[in-house]
Structure 1
Amino acid sequence: MRTASTDRRQIDPALWLLLGALGFALLAALGLATQEERRVRNLFVVVDLTRSMTARDYGKGAKVRSRLDEAKWVVTEIARKLPCGSRIGLGLFTERRSFPLIEPVEVCENFPPFADAVAALNWRMAWEGDSRVVRGLSSAQELVTRLGADLVFVTDGHEAPPLPVAGRRRAENPDRTAGVILGAGGAKLVPIPKYDESGRAIGFYSLPDIAAGARVSIATPGSTGGEYHPRNNPVGNLAATSTEHLTQVREGYLREIAAEAGLGYAPLGDLPAIEAALESHTGTNVLKAPRSLSPVFAAAALIFLIAAHGANHLFVWRRAVASPRGDRNHPRNGAFRR
């Protein structure tokens, strides 16, 4: 014979689960936390905004994108993967100078505005068309020394004007900075887009567009070259077979100057290689930070609530199966007991 106490015992599992869910929900609301140690980084990212960074050699077909677009995506991913407590800043490089836009800020609290700033980077922000990579790197090293951060320098290594015949200047190693150079672009030579004063694409640069003379740079069509001069025309006349109007990642060159500057190197599109380079060539600090337990308690409350819901349905089903309505001899089923 079924009794009221039997029914109460069958309700008990769901009831206890509901009470457990309530208890965990209250613990989640209390905002309890524990202390943990985190290895955090302090990074300052400098992105090359010179004209060759608009070359499109990432992706395929309709999804092809520029080096600058790839750089913006990678920098955002670097910030996204940093542990809370880490700091990250942003700057740009053009001509021979690196310029700070955002000094290092805590990454978790400031990720949305930082990501917005990265997304807003545009080649039109460059104040010159020249690209003197070694000098830009030296300028970036001075910046991070002042900011107390490690450097992430994103560039394709394309020098404009071309490197002088007499050779380039050596990258500086102040022995006070750490960091990595990220090489942007593919190994295949691609054309450099050309834009008019309104920013509209009007084709690609050709060899005659590479100006010579007192100031050798990517310039307007019609510029002419002259004979070699150590000061006025350090690159001399560009041969007809020159590829200075095309661009590719200068990986060998970037690895060379990275070694001179005491920095690491990784290809821009290879996130695992970038993470490994950051691990090897940037420093970490141990930060004691609170870790909230509320998500753990909230998850437990949800699990208990789902379990209580399932237990209640199971109880209803079992009661329906065991109900007298299922007995053919029950009066409601058209039969009478003797």
Structure 2
Amino acid sequence: MKTLIAYFKTHRDSALLSGAMLMLVLAMFHITVPVKHNIYTYLLVADITQSMNTIDTTIDGKPASRMAHTQKMLHEVVSSLPCGTKVSVGLFAGVSVAALYNPIEVCENFAAIQDTIDHLDWRTAWSGNSRIRESLFSITRAIRSFPETAQVVFFTDGEEAPKLHAFNTKDLTNFQGADGWLLVGVGSEKGASIPKLSEKNQLIGYWSNESFALQPGIAQISESNLGVRDDNVAGGEQDRFVSKLNSEYMKSIAKEVGSTYVDGDNVHTILDAMKNQKPARRDVAPFDLSWVMASLAGLLLLAAYFSKHPIKQIGEVLRLYRKNAIRRQHTKNELAIAHDNHIN
């Protein structure tokens, strides 16, 4: 040990540079160590029913549809998740939620996940209805099909279509499995008309009030089973159905099943709520030491260019700077006096 210390004192710069080179070489091999930590897995569910085409949100100060706002929030959420997190994207329409793939790691599959979000479209929906209460059971079935459990983040405007009444309200009293789920409300409390679009995404009118009228028991249940809405188009401004963010309803659902509700107007609010969700599991995973090695290499490289007594050297530099400043000030004073004598 004494020999190593003596060698280091004699060949300090060479030892530091050699150590920096060694750390860089080790960083290239991506050495990992097993570390037990929390594993986060999410099923990000997006409502793709037609009410999500309602334009009552903004993006960069410009009017935008709820669907476009959901896509923006999903992009930012995925971009903020740390490497090692796994994500699946799900679609909600009718009474069902379909997961597009099993949860995949965000960093390795970042482009694929973002591309999935880019292609969210109401035309993908397999049903014209929106039965949020019943969709919760479909979400649990989707999660059970995964190779590992996942937390849920559900983006929706909270609109039930057809409207709920005593005959079609799903009982959630004994519902289990939503502990830690996050319901994210999209839209505004003021609301707006729901545009009716063609297959080419062209506006052909707006959904009428009759399309969402509450029908007597069996008629509405039959409508629900068919999975279609009335095709009536509003003839005037007063005939249009106004769709609003039903935050109070979503809060009540969250309370019934033990989940959490947040407004989806700010990505930081969503991310803060996600941080409070329980991890999917705790397991041993590899921890990459490359950045540690690279950081040590940088520190050793900086140390090689410092003197043996850096504090003393800094003090000497400061004293020298002070002497030069005083000398320059004296020179300026002498020149000023000489100039005044010359004029006199």
Compared CA separation, residues 60 and 74, structure 1 to 2 (3 A) = closer
Identify the structure with the greater helix proportion. Answer: 2
How many residues in Structure 1 have an aligned counterpart in Structure 2? 287
Which residue matches 1:54? 53
Which residue matches 2:333? none
Compared CA separation, residues 60 and 77, structure 1 to 2 (3 A) = closer
Residue 64 of structure 1: SS of its match in structure 2?
strand
Q: What is the CA-CA distance between 1:157 and the residue it aligns to? A: 0.8
Equivalent residue letter for 2:249: Y
Which residue matches 1:36? 35
Which residue matches 1:230? none
Residue 138 of structure 1: SS of its match in structure 2?
helix
Which residue matches 2:231? 220
Gaps of 5+ in 1: 1-11, 224-239, 312-338
Compared CA separation, residues 66 and 282, structure 1 to 2 (3 A) = farther
CA contact (8 A) 1:46 1:92 kept: yes
Which residue matches 1:252? 248
> How far apart are the structure 1 equivalents of 2:271 and 2:196?
34
Residue 103 of structure 1: SS of its match in structure 2?
coil
Q: What is the CA-CA distance between 1:309 and the residue it aligns to? A: 8.6
Compared CA separation, residues 123 and 309, structure 1 to 2 (3 A) = farther
> How far apart are the structure 1 equivalents of 2:191 and 2:258?
28
Which residue matches 2:207? 205
Residue 245 of structure 2: SS of its match in structure 1?
coil
Q: What is the CA-CA distance between 1:222 and the residue it aligns to? A: 6.1
Which residue matches 2:186? 184
Compared CA separation, residues 174 and 221, structure 1 to 2 (3 A) = closer
> How far apart are the structure 2 equivalents of 1:84 and 1:173?
36
> How far apart are the structure 2 equivalents of 1:13 and 1:259?
65
> How far apart are the structure 2 equivalents of 1:202 and 1:307?
70
Root mean square deviation, CA, Å: 3.6
Q: What is the CA-CA distance between 1:299 and the residue it aligns to? A: 3.9
> How far apart are the structure 2 equivalents of 1:30 and 1:197?
52
Compared CA separation, residues 242 and 159, structure 1 to 2 (3 A) = farther
Equivalent residue letter for 2:293: F
Compared CA separation, residues 139 and 172, structure 1 to 2 (3 A) = farther
TM-score between the two structures when normalised by the length of structure 2? 0.70
CA contact (8 A) 2:188 2:244 kept: yes
User: After the TM superposition, which of the residue ranges 98-107 and 61-70 deviates more from structure 2?
Assistant: 61-70
Does residue 288 of the first structure (1) align with residue 299 of the second (2)? Answer: no
> How far apart are the structure 2 equivalents of 1:204 and 1:307?
70
CA contact (8 A) 1:141 1:151 kept: no
> How far apart are the structure 2 equivalents of 1:19 and 1:126?
61
> How far apart are the structure 1 equivalents of 2:199 and 2:67?
20
Residue 34 of structure 1: SS of its match in structure 2?
strand
Equivalent residue letter for 1:200: Q
Q: What is the CA-CA distance between 1:93 and the residue it aligns to? A: 0.8
Compared CA separation, residues 307 and 194, structure 1 to 2 (3 A) = farther
